[in-house]
Amino acid sequence: MIDKIIGSLEQAVADIHDGATVMIGGFGNAGMPAALIDALIAQGARDLTIVNNNAGNGDTGLAALLKARRVKKIICSFPRQTDSYVFDALYRAGEIELELTPQGNLAERIRAAGAGIGGFFSPTGYGTMLAEGKETRLIDGRHYVLESPIHADFALIKALRGDRWGNLVYRKTARNFGPIMAMAAKCAIAQVSEVVELGGLDPENIITPGIFVQRVVLQKAQETRP
């Protein structure tokens, strides 16, 4: 019997190893799997490469992971905002490496990994520092930059509901990077607010099929952030 439900957050992240590449869903706080991140901090893995849209907000979630000095490199599209002071301090001190990727390229690089695509040409970034060291090509009169897929060992994502097969539905825009990150990682771990019985999810509303999800963990009420 297929049952991907994991009993606790701690069990869900127990095998994330030092030096792993970890994708973390979320657009700012929307769709960020805060409970899984807290469990990862407690677990203790270090020298992580994190793939996320931004570089953390305030002192919680991804910012707390950075503050704990667990991240050696971050790949993101939007590292600086008014409350990204944890990342700012680490970057200015030379304690974290940044790979800046335009948001569309970031999404497509993640999607390419999940789709088995070896690379793609994008016009975004041509003629800028972001294209340095990369192959460029003129296609139909327009310049393009060759971008590589981003693969990950683990993906931590947040969904609204899931079943024991790993099928997921999201709450509106909180889905953001979750579906493509699940496809691009060797092990996708989904934090959900509700676990339903098989058949409890309308097949037409399932965004991430269970084939792309290895673990589902229920976020209990006391673990829910405001």
pLDDT tens digits for 164-208?
999 999 999 999 999 999 999 999 999 999 999 999 999 999 999
pLDDT tens digits for 39-88?
999 999 999 999 999 999 899 999 999 999 999 999 999 998 888 999 99
Please return the burial class of 7, using the count of CB atoms within 10 Å of its CB with bins 0-12, 13-18 and 19+. Answer: exposed
Residue 164 zone, left/alpha/beta (φ > 0; ψ -120 to 50; rest): alpha
Determine the residue type at 114: G
pTM of the model: 0.94
DSSP string, 59-95: TBTHHHHHHTT-EEEEEESB---TT-HHHHHHHHTT-
Question: Which one is predicted more confidently, 81 or 7?
Answer: 7
The H or E element that residue 137 is part of is: strand 136-139
In 3D space, the residue among 138, 140, 173 whose CA is nearest the CA of residue 159 turns out to be: 173
In 3D space, the residue among 163, 165, 174, 125 whose CA is nearest the CA of residue 145 turns out to be: 125
Paired tokens of 75: 């790949």
